[in-house]
Structure 1
Amino acid sequence: MKPTLLAIDTSTENCSVALQVDNTVISREMESPREHSQRLLPFVQAVLEEADIKLSDVERLIVGIGPGSFTGVRIGVSIAQGLAFGAELPVQCVSSLDAMALEGAQNETTDWVISAIDARMGEVYWRAYKNDGEQLVTFAPAQVAKPEHLNLSEQLTEYGYRTTESVGFVGTGWETYAEQLKATAPVAPRSLACRLPTAAAMLRWAQQYNEAAVAADELEPLYVRNEVTWKKLPGR
């Protein structure tokens, strides 16, 4: 029997919740970048009611910690802390870039996946993954860069890319900066049909890659940009 897991994510324009009960996944999501704080908890309540369980029946909470919108990341992490403290839940943290890469790889198989989110200010958050047929292998943490300065050919070659291998892409970074990013790729990359992360993909990543659980007071956002600071809940 699979564990009962609840995943939430507001790190990008997508407000997303997914609940796993045995082999069933119940989800709610909506692109509503300015309404995350109003929508997230009603989505949580809706999936719990549909499954006819309470938050106390959940075994672990999974939260998207970014990178993405600073405001969205803060909302998701703050609400995750509140839920985890209230129900004494351990928390697994999943990157928005990782969730998109996994979903894209399940949509279509390529040898490499490049996940990129529009970071505003003329930059993208990005990460590269090698698909070895069983899992996605990572080589470096999430990074931020100007797309015209991001030499994907050089980066992938350092990670072991061979000229016969295919490259796929996911994320809004490829929409906003398609020309610049594609120009730096070693081969014409193809879309893997994933624009934004989902809580359902975070459920899969957290289990497949055995993300370590942390206590609510250890939960930290993944901003990538160093100048942004995070304030924990008062008294924590």
Structure 2
Amino acid sequence: MKILAIETSTEACSVALVHGEEILARSELAPRRHGELVLPMADSLLAEAGMSRQALEGIAVGRGPGAFTGVRLAISLAQGMAMALDLPVVTVSSLQALAMEEDAGSDDILAVIDARMGEVYAAAYRRGADGLPESLSDEWVGPPASLTVPPGGPWSVVGTGWATYAAQLRERIGSVAAHDGACYPQARNVALLALPAFRAGKGVSAEHALPVYLRDKVALTLAEQGKH
């Protein structure tokens, strides 16, 4: 299949292209520059593969949770390209894509993204027989000291939530097999997670490719900012 994947829910801006059995990818840590980088990245990958956009068969996109502007950008771009090219879309949890970054510890994986405002986005997964992480819990947002994990473990913890709140998270999850606070969701993993859905014909039309924010409040008020 020929699939373009976009993931911009965190500080990492990434695009990937599935081209037959090959996956090409671009990724850059570039806070607040996603809008200027993502389309040139996509065009670069298509040029490297010798493909036009018209040759694409689907668009995969990280649907969040994550930064509001980043999630909105990825979904908007995916919808726009899908509508223009009449392509199906598969949305993928950005937390599940993050869990794919774990490859050295336990099969029980906790993905945690720093959600700012003293909170984390989190979800628990277990690596399946196919190597893909399967959900053990609902996606959640809240203070790290309030996190509840499902039975399992020891846990491999990945994501910026660990970098910011390691002490609080360790108290909540108990045994930690491995941890990496410098991991971000990547488009190559969005592509890998989306492929089974595309092959099963489960892509949706552009208007049904929807974001997941987990919370309605996406920014501090001016009064709240004055307290920090």
**Other-structure match for 2:18:** 20
> Which runs of structure 2 are paired with 1:209-220 in the superposition (5 Å)?
212-220=202-210
**Other-structure match for 1:231:** none
**Other-structure match for 1:221:** 211
Query: Matched residues in 2 for 1:67 and 1:100: separation?
Result: 11
Query: Matched residues in 2 for 1:112 and 1:68: separation?
Result: 22
| Identical-pair percentage | 38
Q: How far has the Cα of 1:20 moved from its partner?
A: 1.0
Contact 2:125–2:135 (CA under 8 A) maintained in structure 1 = yes
Pick aligned residue for 1:148 from 140, 145, 148: 145
**Other-structure match for 1:61:** 59
User: CA-to-partner distance for each residue in 1:115-174, whole Å, 9 max, x for gaps?
Assistant: 0000011000000012354443313321101001114xxx322xxx2xxx4310111101
**Other-structure match for 1:232:** none
Distance verdict in 2 for CA 1:208–1:166, change over 3 Å: farther
Contact 1:11–1:96 (CA under 8 A) maintained in structure 2 = yes
**Other-structure match for 1:116:** 112
| SS at structure 2 position matched to 1:202 | helix
Query: Matched residues in 2 for 1:124 and 1:143: separation?
Result: 8
Please, which runs of 5 or more residues in structure 1 have no aligned partner? 229-236
> Which runs of structure 2 are paired with 1:37-52 in the superposition (5 Å)?
37-52=35-50
**Other-structure match for 1:138:** 135
Query: Matched residues in 2 for 1:225 and 1:140: separation?
Result: 17
Q: How far has the Cα of 1:209 moved from its partner?
A: 6.3
Q: How many residue pairs are counted as aligned between the two chains?
A: 215
**Other-structure match for 2:161:** 173
Contact 2:163–2:181 (CA under 8 A) maintained in structure 1 = no
Query: Matched residues in 2 for 1:80 and 1:180: separation?
Result: 36
Query: Matched residues in 2 for 1:194 and 1:202: separation?
Result: 18
Q: How far has the Cα of 1:208 moved from its partner?
A: 4.5
**Other-structure match for 1:125:** 121
Query: Matched residues in 1 for 2:196 and 2:104: separation?
Result: 18
| SS at structure 1 position matched to 2:111 | strand
Q: CA RMSD in A?
A: 1.8
Contact 2:119–2:144 (CA under 8 A) maintained in structure 1 = yes
Contact 1:61–1:89 (CA under 8 A) maintained in structure 2 = yes
Please report the TM-score for the alignment, with normalisation by the length of structure 1. 0.85
Q: How far has the Cα of 1:28 moved from its partner?
A: 1.0
Q: How far has the Cα of 1:10 moved from its partner?
A: 0.8
Q: How far has the Cα of 1:6 moved from its partner?
A: 0.7
Amino acid at match of 1:148: A
Pick aligned residue for 1:101 from 99, 102, 107: 99
**Other-structure match for 1:84:** 82
| SS at structure 1 position matched to 2:6 | strand
Amino acid at match of 1:131: R
